[in-house]
Chains A and B, each alone.
Chain A
């Protein structure tokens, strides 16, 4: 990995964080717009080891919890799990493929929402079903599309090898 690529990697992650607080509000409702912050975490976990991924996930979750104090801690737990499992499963199972990465983004987003919903205890019954079966899949899909787009455009700078398979 070249030194300039390393900078670009962090710049791209930084841009995703900025997009979360700028562009996201114009991409539809909160429940369906792509989660750029989680996307940045997932892209980070593609290249990082599970431990650091879990740590970064924890920090990202904690920051998000500061914005939703009612479910404080649930975001930290969810992002920790997502970060660790994403990084670990990438190393063990997944190939470096655009579609596979898209699936990872989809599953990561949906799993994060599942953990937040369960850990916070705020959603029950029908609301939980709607969240997990309707809203979460939509948000997961938009996040996966955004993630695939980022990898397709900047995969070279992220030093992620994408096969044709």
Chain B
């Protein structure tokens, strides 16, 4: 086909144009029985590759859109799945807390832990119960597993709790059978040692077997008797041959606690050992 850059319409051009117009008009007046086979043939033989291309492109486009939707659904499912163990754990903790409340009968305030996004938050944390709920300083803060800490400062609606991991925490403790007494304090102030306790002041002649449960002794009148503190892991050292120190694995980790009980008054039972032992049997 000749291509000319500068040209006007020649007679041949005009004749071609008129012929095409007439053919177009004739095509418009074609009856369906002639038109349909013609258009079908054009689609099947001339336009087939282009229509196939269009079909593939549409499929690809739809696939991409479906892929996005599938990826979004998968992400949502994965996100939901990550929360399932967390929800189950929290559910178990809440059930345990409810059971503990029922066993304590009275003299406690339930509170939600207001976690702060700071590395030091497990040392001290804020709970959503304060003076208006009857919370007092030095009240024991417990979870179904055992002692979490003691109340340090009380505001109208909130309280600051010093957990057992805080360097200033101390509690009078005893073995579960009452044979050994000592003072429980944090094992260290830095690194992983922070998350262990130690039982200090045990008489040298008294050996504490591994696995012994350590409870609050109630001596000093601050903490009620019988709240689990942890389990003896091993001996940590001796001091001048007259006392022994033992490492204690805490019963509860402050960072894992979402709800607590604050013991605000004298409990029905003077020894809470049975309350927490029952808690261990709760599913």
Contact = CB atoms under 8 A, between A and B. Distances in A.
Interface of A: 1, 17-18, 20-23, 25-26, 47-52, 54-55, 57-58, 61-63, 65-67, 69, 72-74, 76-77, 80-81, 84, 87-88, 91-92, 119, 159
B141 to A, nearest CB: 61
B42 A50 contact: no
B27 A72 contact: yes
A159 B36 CA distance: 40
Q: Closest 5 A-B residue pairs measured CB to CB?
A: A73-B28, A51-B13, A73-B27, A77-B24, A66-B42
Interface of B: 1-10, 12-17, 20-21, 23-30, 35-36, 38-39, 42-43, 46-47, 50-51, 53-54, 57-58, 61
A21 to B, nearest CB: 4
Nearest to B28: A73
Contacts of B47: 63, 66-67
Contact of B4 (A26, A48, A88): A48
Contact of A77 (B3, B13, B28, B36): B28
Contact of B28 (A22, A52, A72): A72
A46 to B, nearest CB: 9
A96 B24 CA distance: 31
B29 A73 contact: yes
Nearest to A46: B5
A26 B17 contact: no
Contacts, number: 124
Contacts of B26: 73
A67 B38 CA distance: 11
Given A62-B42, A69-B36, A77-B25, 10 more contacts: A18-B50, A21-B50, A47-B3, A49-B10, A51-B9, A55-B20, A67-B43, A72-B39, A76-B23, A76-B27
B24 to A, nearest CB: 4
A52 B53 contact: no
Contacts of A159: 5
Nearest to B34: A72
B61 A80 contact: no
A21 B53 contact: yes
B53 A80 contact: no
A80 B23 CA distance: 10
Contact of A54 (B1, B7, B16): B16
A82 to B, nearest CB: 11
A62 to B, nearest CB: 7
A91 B8 contact: yes
A77 B29 CA distance: 12
A21 B46 CA distance: 14
Contacts of A25: 54, 57-58, 61
Contacts of A57: 20
B269 to A, nearest CB: 74
Contact of A92 (B8, B15, B24): B8
Contacts of A18: 50, 53
A69 B35 CA distance: 8
Contacts of B25: 73, 77
A87 B28 CA distance: 24
B10 A119 contact: no
Contacts of A92: 8
Nearest to B50: A21
22 contacts: A18-B50, A26-B61, A49-B2, A49-B3, A50-B8, A51-B12, A52-B2, A52-B16, A54-B21, A55-B20, A57-B20, A58-B20, A65-B39, A66-B42, A66-B46, A69-B36, A72-B27, A77-B21, A84-B9, A84-B17, A91-B6, A91-B9
Contacts of A17: 50
Contact of B39 (A49, A69, A74): A69
B58 A65 contact: no
B186 to A, nearest CB: 64
B27 A54 contact: no
Nearest to A115: B24
Contacts of B5: 47, 159
Contacts of A49: 2-4, 7, 9-10, 13
